[in-house]
Structure 1
Amino acid sequence: MKAPLSWIKDYIDVDGLNIEQIAHCLTMVGLEVEGIRLVGLPKPEAERHEFKYEGLTWDREKFVVAEVLEVLPHPNADRLVLCRLNDGTQELIILTGAPNLYPYKGKGELAQTLKVAYAREGAMLYDGHQPGQVLTKLKRAVIRGVESFSMICSEKELGISDEHEGVIILDADAPVGTPLVDYMGDAVFDISILPNMVRDASMLGIARELAAVTHRELRLPQGIPLPQGDALSKRVSLEVLNPELNPRFMLGMVENVQAQPSPYWVQRRLNLAGMRPIDALVDATNYTMLETGEPLHAFDYDLLRKRAGGNPPSIITRTAQPGETLTLLDGTVQPLDERMEVVADSAGPLSLAGIMGGMDSGITSQTQHVLLEAASWNFINIRQTLSKLKIPSEAGWRFSRGVHPALAEQALRLCLQRLLAWGGGRLVEGVLDAYPLPPQDPVVTLTEEEIISRLGAPVSLEEAAGILERLGFECTLQEDKLSAKTPPIRLDIGEGLIGKASLVEEIARIYGYERIPSKRLAVELPAPVFDTKLEAEERIREILVSLGLQDTVAYRQTSPQREARILPNQSIDPKHEYVRIKNPITPDRTVMRTSGLATMLELLEYNSKFRPSLALFEIGPVFLPVESQLLPNEALRLTVGLAGLREIPTWQTKTPEQRDFFDLKGVLEALLKGLHIPEVNFRPTERPTFHPGKCAEVLSGERVLGVFGELHPMVQEHYEFEALPVLAAELDADLLVALSRVEFEHQPLSNYPAMVEDIAVIVPEEVSAAALEAAIRQAGGKLLVNVRLFDIFRGEKLGLGKKSMAYQLTYQAFDRTLTDKDAETIRNRIVRALAREFGAVLRSQ
């Protein structure tokens, strides 16, 4: 938010504080000043500045307030004029091409002189004809036969705004000869407003914080008394259908107004605050919003009456009806749904509640009668509407963070006063005020002990009460307790423990965080409590990362259609239950996922466009509905995805091999070994998602840990994979965590050498490698310390339905060096066992 210093000065005396000190005070109370733009004022003198400055300083001798006495035609140019000007010391003839001076050309001496911003020869200012802000120095020149050495300035040349089509016409009371910096020099603070401090998204809110921290008086604007009578109720009716969505709605009216330009000081402040001036009627609503933080909306009463067929209009706040649309002031046509709150009449929607008005009833240059709205809205509903329609709006930004309904009355008083002062007209008697749901302002009680224990600073109840009163709280001290009633401008203070914490935070902000002393802990740190489940999850991550896989986080939100992509026919089971989202972020993410595999395949699909080799994993929950239970079961799943090349091509391996089923199996074997999960085994299975014959379950004993395999070709067609083949696994991470061992037995290293030999056996095709390895280990006994399958061969010489499996066997003892006879004994025992159990024959025989 941009806050001009001149505007803040309306509510607080800042004498004795320079720009840097003001910015520091605001930052320390939570209103972080991100930068300061100088508009005429000089930069504070200091060895080191805490904040970033930009902008233009106006030399006191070079820039002054002047008055144009007469506008004369240029003798050699139709688009230039000569102004007879008084700068407070002398009369001069000044050349300019400002189109807003053309109407005064050749009219003789002006009955009402024009006050202007005048720059003398040698002044440094921005070039009004160059893009951006380019500094230039005023020098003498001859233009179309007339000497020019100074100029009447536009807003761009002074750094106020980008407007350069005409010169500035100051208000009539501007004192001629006064240095311009004294008359309207300013500094604009660029303040970051935190979401929980929307109460300070106004000039009054910023001034209140500054007054509280500097112990200065806050001057509140009063506005006019709300008019009494029933004239307005005869011209318009009001009905609020959903008090939960619209706690308060007020209407006031001014008739016979004129959409004329606002006073220049108003236009200048709006420009500095980042809003474009329009006319007196629109400017009054914008000015009041920036002043109080309460957005307002003005309707053209004649347009409302026309929509009602010449009858008094009826204003109704309600939710939109199916199929309704609304053309907004920005010209966009927005489709509405039944969850969006609107302001409507008998003909349909007039405005999108709390966000933006409609084109059909808005203020125009022809408006004569203004119906003024001041209301409050449910911030969650406003936030949902903004999220869906993606509409940038100052009003929506404020209402989506919560604006107290009491601000509506203050804003209505002030805005009616501005409409009368700037647009003329007459106030219609009466105000309509529908206030069906006034909020309860909490009362929070604190003791001195609670304050000190939470802050660690010696803040007395009296000092705490003074701080809170400066922030607008009503405080009473009784029986060593401080009771504070929340001011009717804030919705962020809760009750009970939350309220106490909020009040202590308010006290700390104003007391000063820098004043809170640093202290050592008074007691020893408690013994750490370890989360064994979290530690096991981290071990899984560490193992997989060490294997070269990348940790990922996927969307938990999905849709039944997205999850159906993992099936060959993409059929959606109507009996499959999902946890449905009431306010989905996008139309294609309406439920919580029940499969981690579907989201992993989406990650592989997206990332395969950029990399030829992928190895990803994710540990995250799936959400399984439980019958007769509100909350779902959040089961933890481990998903692994591999795709593409086994390694990135290099000068050594120009054509690397593709990953296959056994790459994924190896990853899982290494993971389960690292977790020390017992009795790991694999068995073939079939699942619709995976390629037949290339899919397996992984088990611990008889407990199924998960399933893995190569993706089914028909499933692959549902995705746009650039890297193939695609391999995926989904495991029960809760079961992995439960079975993993933190403490486990380990085998010491033997001091004696190992003996290594290879054997190849011919076995029937149906014999699995796992079964064969188990038999070898059992027959080999304790001296067989390792078994590794390194080759499988099939050929005509072996016979139909036969295969050769070659193993490397490692023998080692812990008490002696083994001999060839020892190795022969073990080998023979293994061969006999394999022959007996599988009919195996040594290939060397």
Structure 2
Amino acid sequence: MKASLKWLREYVNITLPLQELAQKLTMSGTEVAGIDTIGGWDNIVVGEVVAIEPHPNAERLQLATVDLGTQRFTSVCGAPNLEMGQKVAFAKIGSQLIDPESGELVKLKRAKIRGIASEGMICSERELGISDRHEGIMVLPSDAPLGVPLDEYLGDTILDLDITPNRPDCLSIIGIAWEVAALTGKSVRFPEVSYDETGEPIERKASVEIADADLCPRYCASLVTDVKMAPSPPWMEQRLLACGMRPINNIVDVTNYVMLEYGQPLHAFDYQKLAQNRIIVRRAQDGEMLTTLDGVKRALTSEMLVIADGEGAVAIAGVMGGTESEVTEDTTSVLIESANFNPVSLRRTSMALRLRSEASLRFEKGISPELPLLALRRATQLMAALSGGKIAKGIIDIYPGKTEPKPISLTTRQVRRILGVDLGLDQMVKVLSSLGFQCQRVSPEELSVIVPYWRTDVRLSDDLVEEIARIIGYDELPTTLPSGSLPRYEPNPMRALRQRVCEILAGCGMQEVITYSLTSLAIMRKVVPDSQLFPLRVANPITTEQEYLRTTLRPGLLQALSSNEKHEEGSIRLFEVGKVYLPREGDLPEERHMLAGVLSGPRLDRSWHGEGEALDFFDAKGVLEVLFERLGVAISFEPAEDETLSPARRAKIVVGGEEVGVLGELHPRVAEDFDISSRSVYLFEIDLERLLPAALEPHKYRPIPRFPVTLRDIALVVDVAIPSKRVQDIIEGFPLVARVTLFDVYIGEQVPREKKSLAFRIHYQSPTRTLTDEEVKQAQEEILERLHRELGATLRA
């Protein structure tokens, strides 16, 4: 928000030095991000055109005599709007002006134009750097003081303010004036608003209907007829420019001016273009089209609120008007809209259409429904005065959402508890009253406070305490220790698990990446079958590449791998811990915490030993075994079905009989889809939500064995289709078996076709005694007998 200091001074008396004022505003929560100066015009003064003669040697030029009060100068001027009696900006020889052609600053020199000496220049707005207008000279108001330096008359200081989202009232000059008044102990002066209503009653000329009161709590309208379109007066144009808005004409400028003044957006309709002279505030129809003032034809939905006439939509409520009802040079009657719209609905509309305006910016923050009538009366007054129009009798005011303000109770005890300082009621009343709050003493320790209509951010007694603190000054409050007990620590098991997983995987030599939660349908199709592909689409995607919420971490991780392998020669080991979003019918998506990782490339960096072996399935499996071992969770691997992974090298990860993830070699087709050139890529993905209960279980420890272990190796021939895990589970089920390790797998000429050899090392051990050879032998025979019976296993010869 840019605020003109000269404009502010119309509403509040400012006596503080500029830097001190900026400091007070910043410390109170309204940060002054910058201070700009308009002016710096040397040797340019206010003059009056007292004589005009034709140039003897040029038909299009005139000789103007300009009176500066104590001196008169002759200037050669070619402006078509030059007239006797005008107050103008006169630049003396030696002053610096902007060259309209090059835009550069040039020094004005004495010159002869067609044989006549010009002793100065009557300036245009472009030459002064005020605006881009150069078709004529700038005409000052008739009451401009003669001979006064232009810098003194038009110069201004602009405060560039950063307004927080909860303070829509400060997106206005009057709102800033309230802040300045409270901080400096001054009072606020409101503009006087009065006018004569000489037209017909507005009820005969127009009607307003609100079809959806939830989205439009209030709608006000007035009518000004017989208007004459023209440029706005310089004082209004200068204020608009100072606040960063481009002047257009006296009708549109009034709506922008009042918006800056009061913080209430307005809109001007060409009354003659409104079908049946009706205004209907309703939801748009799906597919309804409207061309907005920026020239874009937009398709609307039933979630959007529009302003319609008797035939169709003429504006997107609170966002932007339509071209079919805009005011033009031919406009003679104007219907002024001043309304209040639901901020949530309006923001959704603005975001869906990717259309933001100064009006929507204010409505989104939730401005007061009490503002429309006040701003409308001010706009009606200014529009009639600047356009010479007639005002219809009365104002249409439809206010279905009217509510009465509820008082807030505030006690000295509450102030003491929050601020740690004792404040009397008198001081509390003084501060709150300076901000426009109405205070009534209920008891020596309690106030009943009515919040002013423009302060929509104040709802609780704590908000009132904040107002008191920031106006007194946070730096003025004494430092005190916090009272009461420290807040109770609430553990977050999932956060702890995520952090622990990241630490373990980083210790395994893997690197964490963070990818976007948004992706495209085309990318997800590469890793998710169409039968399982039901991602949620965001309403306002930034690009088509970030249009859907991810349902798996795989796409982003594989894209990261593809990108990294183009720049890396060694191994790539990446993992990500993040959320996926699973659709739920009639509800928000389910957010689940997931872990995914990929490994690719050589196991060791290239060295003088030669090329290192490539990472394989068992490297990825080993990483997971380390992870689960350190988490204290027992896992097993079982055959899996996953189209993203190669059928020969894939397994599901099982914890407590429940599948928690999957591991395997990336299918060559998927690798090709992601432009991955590595020969083999190994991927794992784990559902941390399913893993969490097991990870939370207390760890059980066994004492170090007191008795020796006896080792036996056994080589078994089984069917190729039998997983080694099934054999291992049977062996581990015997009471004297402490541990089993698979150390060799063989398929080839030494075993029959469709068979394979599995070699295990069995650790026999008892917690109570030393085992004898006979006991070990008997256990070994029992194991072989059961394996033969259940799996058809035989000892390898």
**Shared fold per TM-score greater than 0.5:** yes
Alignment correspondent of 1:540: 501
Alignment correspondent of 1:674: 630
Alignment of 1:256-655 (within 5 A): 256-304=226-274, 307-308=275-276, 313-479=277-443, 480-494=445-459, 499-522=460-483, 525=486, 528=489, 530-547=491-508, 548-552=510-514, 555=517, 566-568=527-529, 570-571=530-531, 598-604=551-557, 606-608=559-561, 610-612=563-565, 613=572, 615-620=574-579, 636-642=592-598, 645=601
Q: In 1, distance between residues paired with 2:162 and 2:741?
A: 66
Whether contact under 8 Å (1:81, 1:95) holds in the other structure is: yes
Letter in 2 for 1:178: V
Q: In 2, distance between residues paired with 1:20 and 1:587?
A: 44
Q: In 1, distance between residues paired with 2:396 and 2:608?
A: 83
**1:385 Cα deviation from its structure 2 partner:** 0.8
1:281-332 deviation line (CA, Å, top 9, x unaligned):
111111111100111111122222xx33xxxx12211111233211222221
Q: In 2, distance between residues paired with 1:392 and 1:633?
A: 28
Cα distance change on mapping 1:228 and 1:260 into 2, 3 Å: closer
Alignment correspondent of 2:175: 205
**1:205 Cα deviation from its structure 2 partner:** 0.6
Whether contact under 8 Å (2:340, 2:368) holds in the other structure is: yes
Alignment correspondent of 1:705: 660
Whether contact under 8 Å (1:250, 1:433) holds in the other structure is: yes
Q: In 1, distance between residues paired with 2:269 and 2:584?
A: 49
- Provide the secondary structure at the position in 1 that maps to 2:34: strand
Cα distance change on mapping 1:399 and 1:827 into 2, 3 Å: same
Q: In 2, distance between residues paired with 1:510 and 1:557?
A: 47
- Provide the secondary structure at the position in 2 that maps to 1:351: strand
Cα distance change on mapping 1:562 and 1:444 into 2, 3 Å: farther
- Provide the secondary structure at the position in 2 that maps to 1:397: helix
Alignment correspondent of 2:186: 216
Larger deviation, residues 294-303 vs 634-643? 634-643
Whether contact under 8 Å (1:11, 1:218) holds in the other structure is: yes
Q: In 2, distance between residues paired with 1:345 and 1:371?
A: 12
Larger deviation, residues 212-221 vs 805-814? 805-814
Letter in 1 for 2:531: S
Alignment correspondent of 2:568: none
Alignment of 1:97-116 (within 5 A): 101-104=79-82, 110-116=83-89
Letter in 1 for 2:475: E
Cα distance change on mapping 1:565 and 1:31 into 2, 3 Å: same
Cα distance change on mapping 1:766 and 1:428 into 2, 3 Å: closer
Whether contact under 8 Å (1:779, 1:829) holds in the other structure is: no
Q: In 2, distance between residues paired with 1:676 and 1:181?
A: 78
Q: Please, which of 201, 217, 235 is the counterpart of residue 205 of structure 2?
A: 235
Q: In 1, distance between residues paired with 2:532 and 2:655?
A: 32
**1:417 Cα deviation from its structure 2 partner:** 1.0
TM norm structure 2: 0.85
Cα distance change on mapping 1:325 and 1:429 into 2, 3 Å: same
- Provide the secondary structure at the position in 2 that maps to 1:610: helix
Q: In 1, distance between residues paired with 2:55 and 2:601?
A: 79
Q: In 2, distance between residues paired with 1:330 and 1:648?
A: 60
Q: In 2, distance between residues paired with 1:271 and 1:605?
A: 51
Q: Please, which of 47, 66, 69 is the counterpart of residue 66 of structure 1?
A: 47
Q: Please, which of 693, 707, 721 is the counterpart of residue 648 of structure 2?
A: 693
Letter in 2 for 1:490: R
Alignment of 1:42-191 (within 5 A): 57-59=40-42, 62-70=43-51, 83-94=64-75, 101-104=79-82, 110-121=83-94, 123-124=95-96, 126-131=98-103, 135-139=105-109, 150-163=120-133, 166-191=136-161
Cα distance change on mapping 1:830 and 1:421 into 2, 3 Å: same
- Provide the secondary structure at the position in 2 that maps to 1:111: coil
Whether contact under 8 Å (1:288, 1:414) holds in the other structure is: yes
Cα distance change on mapping 1:525 and 1:339 into 2, 3 Å: closer
Alignment correspondent of 1:21: 20
Letter in 1 for 2:629: K
Q: In 2, distance between residues paired with 1:485 and 1:228?
A: 37
Q: In 2, distance between residues paired with 1:772 and 1:74?
A: 113
Q: In 1, distance between residues paired with 2:52 and 2:728?
A: 106
Whether contact under 8 Å (1:69, 1:114) holds in the other structure is: no
**1:230 Cα deviation from its structure 2 partner:** 6.6
1:184-212 deviation line (CA, Å, top 9, x unaligned):
11011111121111111011011111111
- Provide the secondary structure at the position in 2 that maps to 1:439: coil
Cα distance change on mapping 1:558 and 1:442 into 2, 3 Å: farther
1:135-164 deviation line (CA, Å, top 9, x unaligned):
554455677776677544444554434555
Pair 1:196-2:166 in alignment:
yes
Q: In 2, distance between residues paired with 1:430 and 1:786?
A: 94
Whether contact under 8 Å (1:554, 1:600) holds in the other structure is: no
Alignment of 1:747-786 (within 5 A): 761=715, 763-764=717-718, 765-766=720-721, 768-770=723-725
Whether contact under 8 Å (2:88, 2:123) holds in the other structure is: no
Letter in 2 for 1:408: P
- Provide the secondary structure at the position in 2 that maps to 1:375: strand
Letter in 2 for 1:615: L
Letter in 1 for 2:636: N
Whether contact under 8 Å (2:86, 2:139) holds in the other structure is: no
**1:84 Cα deviation from its structure 2 partner:** 3.4
**1:469 Cα deviation from its structure 2 partner:** 1.6
Q: In 2, distance between residues paired with 1:271 and 1:696?
A: 68
Q: In 2, distance between residues paired with 1:657 and 1:162?
A: 71
Cα distance change on mapping 1:785 and 1:727 into 2, 3 Å: closer
Whether contact under 8 Å (2:221, 2:396) holds in the other structure is: yes
**1:232 Cα deviation from its structure 2 partner:** 1.2
- Provide the secondary structure at the position in 1 that maps to 2:627: helix
- Provide the secondary structure at the position in 2 that maps to 1:538: helix
Whether contact under 8 Å (1:639, 1:731) holds in the other structure is: yes
Cα distance change on mapping 1:202 and 1:701 into 2, 3 Å: closer
Whether contact under 8 Å (1:592, 1:623) holds in the other structure is: no
Whether contact under 8 Å (1:467, 1:507) holds in the other structure is: yes
Cα distance change on mapping 1:317 and 1:84 into 2, 3 Å: same
Alignment correspondent of 2:748: 795
Alignment correspondent of 2:4: 4
Whether contact under 8 Å (2:603, 2:612) holds in the other structure is: yes
Q: In 2, distance between residues paired with 1:635 and 1:394?
A: 36
Q: In 2, distance between residues paired with 1:649 and 1:373?
A: 72
Cα distance change on mapping 1:826 and 1:25 into 2, 3 Å: farther
- Provide the secondary structure at the position in 1 that maps to 2:455: coil
Cα distance change on mapping 1:26 and 1:117 into 2, 3 Å: farther
Whether contact under 8 Å (2:195, 2:381) holds in the other structure is: no
Cα distance change on mapping 1:657 and 1:366 into 2, 3 Å: farther
Q: In 1, distance between residues paired with 2:148 and 2:91?
A: 10
**1:394 Cα deviation from its structure 2 partner:** 1.0
Whether contact under 8 Å (2:98, 2:127) holds in the other structure is: yes
